[in-house]
Amino acid sequence: MGACQSFREMCDREKNTNVHLSLPAVCIVWQTAMIILFGVFMRYDHESDAHWVEHRKHSNLTDIENDFYFRYPSFQDVHVMIFVGFGFLMTFLKRYSFGGVGFNFLIAAFGLQWALLMQGWFHWLDADGKIRIGIENLINADFCVAGCLIAYGALLGKVSPVQLMVLTLFGITLFAVEEFIIISVIHARDAGGSMVIHTFGGYYGLSVSWMLYRPNLHQSSRLQGSVYHSDVFAMIGTLFLWMFWPSFNSAICDHGDGQHRAAINTYLCLASTVLTTVAISSLFQKHGKLDMVHIQNSTLAGGVAAGTAAEFMLMPYGCLIVGFCCGIISTLGYIFLTPFMEKHLKIQDTCGIHNLHAMPGVVGGIVGAITAASASIEVYGHEGLVNTFDFMDKFKDMVPTTQGGHQAAGLCVALCFGIGGGIIVGAILRLPIWGDPADDNCFDDETYWEDVRICNVKSEFSQLLHMVNSSM
């Protein structure tokens, strides 16, 4: 107990937000490490290498059959979601728009490089010890980064850019390990990442936030809110995410019916979620008015929940049911659970990732397990069952009921890695060496950004009108 108390006292000493040396050092050193590691391990795969011409002739293929032409449209959509969708969704705070978009950019740019290496070592390492990179690797790297961006949502406005780099380094590493266990070892299916991305990322961020609990955060409560224009910018992020989520969930599915079905399932889940979100938001607000926080976030919960079962035969009406339930769960989470967690569990969740990602991710994992366990030859056909659940090689004798158990086991692994990893990383980030802001200086861009100008439009218009009247 004495050691724990000493650790807390050391971590809670006076904050110094000067990252003049630490941030450049971390960025330069880690980027140099990426250059070296890419030079040692990374090579083009056969479809992006100059020898493709020879391979194409030998295999009697055409250029249009290169995987680039099948995957790049989905990659483009996912890439926009990562940099524009997530970035603008985090601009809702009245004085933290630079940090929302800018640090999202930083995390993603570093994270995708580290993800290419980590995922490559687990999934793509060939006999020569090289990682062969192609368009699908880029999509998976963006997925990996998404988990860290989700975690950032819980910490928005309360951490330094150096802490975010450390969060990303460990987050990508944990993600690669849990993804390998869930997909390759347990053999769970998770095309859209309800378990691997959203459940892990959500509980990783919440656990870190619990470790970094700020008892005096109310001192920054004046900035922990939105204004009209910041909510409009955040809504831009919502719309980009909402429109491109079918691409996100279908991006790495098998070509053909699986990818087609994943887009349809996600599309319907998202549509259903919007109506129930609006209904619950209106029902629980005075005079039936809508809360913009719910519209920005809970309307996306259906896309999260559709991820695991995206390529399964969920059926159109089943998709609408999943979206219907997620809209209710997510919106009620913002109304009741978020304040409860902050007051009683000491978890300060800035963006409400528990309601948008963590809970819908768990719902998606459960839906995936039930749908897999209830699969049958009558619904899928024999070849469809084998193709959808990859019942091949050492898993060729697996039956749907067993696959359902594997899906449930995958969800448990995601929860364990998210919570356990978040606690460990949170303990590291609690050390007083990262330049994080004091409790009375959170949610403010001026802490880490130069020339922050907060414009009060009404005030400036009044001043301009006064000057015009004075000159007349």
Place of tokens 């890695």: 417
Average of pLDDT values for 288-301?
Answer: 97
Name the percent of the chain in helix, strand, coil, to the closest 5.
75, 0, 25
The DSSP H or E segment spanning 466 is helix 457-471
Cβ-based neighbour number of residue 87 at 10 Å: 24
* Separation between Cα atoms, residue 453 and residue 319, nearest integer Å: 45
Confidence of residue 14 (pLDDT cuts 50, 70, 90): confident
Mean pLDDT computed over 439-446:
95
State yes or no: pLDDT of 429 exceeds 70. yes
**DSSP bridge partners of 313:** none
| Alpha carbon distance 202, 341 (integer Å) | 14
| CA 438 distance to own-chain centroid | 27
pLDDT of residue 286: 86
Name residue 131's beta-bridge partners. Answer: 42, 125
Percent of the chain past pLDDT 70, that is, above it, reads: 93
Is 70 exceeded by the pLDDT of residue 6?
Answer: no
Residue 469's pLDDT band, with cuts at 50, 70 and 90, is low
Apex 284 CA angle, 283 and 287, nearest 5: 70
What's the mean pLDDT in 349-378?
A: 97
The helix (run of H) or strand (run of E) holding residue 42 is: strand 42-44
Q: What is the pLDDT of residue 460?
A: 45
The per-residue pLDDT for 15 is 79
464 has a pLDDT exceeding 50: no
pLDDT above 90 coverage of the chain, percent: 88
Contacts of residue 223, defined as CB under 8 A and 6 or more positions apart, other chains included, come to 93, 94, 95, 96, 157, 442, 443, 444
> What pLDDT is attached to residue 7?
55
Q: Widest CA span of the chain, in angstroms?
A: 89
How do beta strands 42-44 and 131-133 pair?
Answer: parallel
Confidence of residue 459 (pLDDT cuts 50, 70, 90): very low
Residue 187 token pair: 């053999």
Token pair belonging to 275:
């109506």
Q: What is the pLDDT of residues 197-232, one digit of tens each?
A: 999 999 999 999 999 999 999 999 999 999 999 999
Q: Comparing 113-122, 289-298, 347-356, 391-400, which segment has the lowest mean pLDDT?
A: 391-400
Q: State residue 452's pLDDT score.
A: 85
Ramachandran category for residue 60: left, alpha or beta (phi over 0 → left; psi -120 to 50 → alpha): left
| Average pLDDT of span 51-73 | 91
* Model confidence at 277: pLDDT above 70: yes
How confident is the model over 48-75, as a mean pLDDT? 92
The pLDDT, as a whole number, for residue 250 is 97
Rounded to two decimals, the pTM is 0.94
CA–CA separation, 279 and 144 (whole Å): 33
Tell me the average pLDDT of the chain: 93
Annotate 237-266 with three-state secondary structure.
Answer: HHHHHHHHHHHHHHCCCCCCHHHHHHHHHH
Mean pLDDT across 441-467:
70
